[in-house]
Structure 1
């Protein structure tokens, strides 16, 4: 009996010696869990969140979303609010001048008058400007002269006799300005198209590709980065026999491109300044490259 009690006593003593180690391990693990929870809480503490607002052309909305997501992983206490529906370039310029948005992403550069009011802009990059249709490839495309005839109403059918259903943009939209610069005939044809009755007119870039995608025998304009980002069932047509690819634009064999610009107003908060610097950084250029843009050269 004594021997048995002695064994129990020794076993109890060994257990007592082990107990502090087990408890120490549990306390250590618990401490790590509490530190992790505290870290996560601090990383997304709603009380510490700062918000900045970005508005602009619908063409750049997918790109802004990519910038915002990447910046959020670096600065989890910063929330980037993107104005939806898009303001368009002209609306975004008015908004950034009035301080209604912190930053604007535009399809055209600021004018000297807008810069004189305290605004500043930077070209971010450019992507191929496209003439697109919902019709299936292969299609031969058009010359600039043929496009002018289509916009002016002199050429109204596809090669198989189907009617060309033109989707146009408003007078001062960036797509309209790019078309005007193609040739003097194209400049005049745009004015005729905008005056033609019954035309389909898209208010912004996203509405434009919606109309083009769902309108049989459509024809209109867009850009490569947006069509790719939205995964749209639209086909780009060659212009003057040149394929509208990113490689061709890089090499200079396809001359039609659409640039995007980042603009700030007269006043800028520190949180918005941080996001602006991120967009203009090497990390921002990597995002532009992946999104279908040729990044602009670095600017001072």
Structure 2
């Protein structure tokens, strides 16, 4: 009888001890291994806009998230106009733009965010004009580029090249690069109806690499496998190459800034991400991507 009582008492103790333990695997973890708190900024930031800047934005985001595991940075393209429209309607935290925001767009942002928009220059770039590597033309003036893109000049022989039709490539009208060329090269006039519109700078570069008589434009970072033209302000001016030094000091006629636009003063993860983009490490990524750092 004593032996039976001792056995029953032992089983009762085991059952009681089992019932007091927290089940293993609660919340996907062993209850005996408490999770460590994530350090640094936490949250999600959306970044949208310029196709020229999308690769740069993605590389910033990838490296930033490695160093800040509690943060999530979502970067998508669509064009500068698309990014600014998203800023206006409140569907993005940061708009990327390869052109300055327009006054009408500023007013629309202020309807929702009276203190905005906030403009931050995060890199420098030069809009370059591309031709096929075999094209003998080395330089064009802005008036010549204007005549080509307005459709007044249609043969390469009229600008020092061979007797061949000029195949004109352009970007879609939501592109900040399109808007920049329209304003700075065409004086606000519309592109020729002969221009072949492509969805991104990479597509323009690819087309130029295949078309010996083509001309297109885009950011300096995309100029691979094609020739970049030197550009002069007028027929008498010096033709300037789109080098880092010439873009940094503004000597190259088509230098420009690359921008982040925010609805108001940055805070939290957004501020931390922007600080990273402007840091020495972030600006090194600018150089590695093919653009030029802010000084």
TM-score (norm 1): 0.69
**2:231, 2:240 within 8 Å by CA — same for their partners in 1?**
yes
* Pair 1:43–1:140, CA change in 2 (3 A): farther
Please identify, of 204-213 and 97-106, the stretch whose mean Cα deviation from structure 2 is larger. Answer: 204-213
Tell me, in whole angstroms, the C-alpha distance in 2 between the residues paired with 1:144 and 1:258.
15
Asked whether 1:109 is paired with 2:100, we answer: yes
| Structure 1 contact 57–204 (Cα < 8 Å) conserved | no
CA RMSD of aligned residues (A): 3.2
Q: CA deviation at 1:50?
A: 4.3
> Does 1:209 find its partner at 2:205?
yes
- TM alignment of 1:191-230, pairs within 5 A: 191-193=190-192, 196=193, 198-227=194-223
- In 1, Cα distance between equivalents of 2:231 and 2:66: 41
Q: Does 1:179 align with 2:173?
A: no
Q: 2: distance between equivalents of 1:97 and 1:182?
A: 25
User: 1:160 matched to which residue of 2?
Assistant: 162
Residues 225, 293 of structure 1: 8 Å contact kept: yes
Q: What's the TM-score, normalizing by structure 2?
A: 0.70
What is the CA distance between 1:295 and its match in structure 2? Answer: 2.9
Per-residue CA distance 1:154-210 (angstroms, 9 max, x = gap)? 321222212211012344633233334446xx326x4251xx2x4311234344334
CA, structure 1 residues 171+99, in 2 after alignment: closer, same or farther (shift >3 Å)? closer
Q: Kindly report which structure 2 residues correspond to 1:245-256, keeping only aligned pairs within 5 A, or say none.
A: 245-256=243-254
Gaps of at least 5 residues in structure 2 are 1-32, 233-238
For 1:203 and 1:218, the matched residues in 2 are separated by 16
Which runs of 5 or more residues in structure 1 are unaligned? 1-37
**How many residues were matched structurally?**
245
Aligned-partner Cα distance in 1 for 2:42–2:123: 30
Distance 1:268 1:140, change over 3 A: closer
Separation in 2, partners of 1:146, 1:289: 31
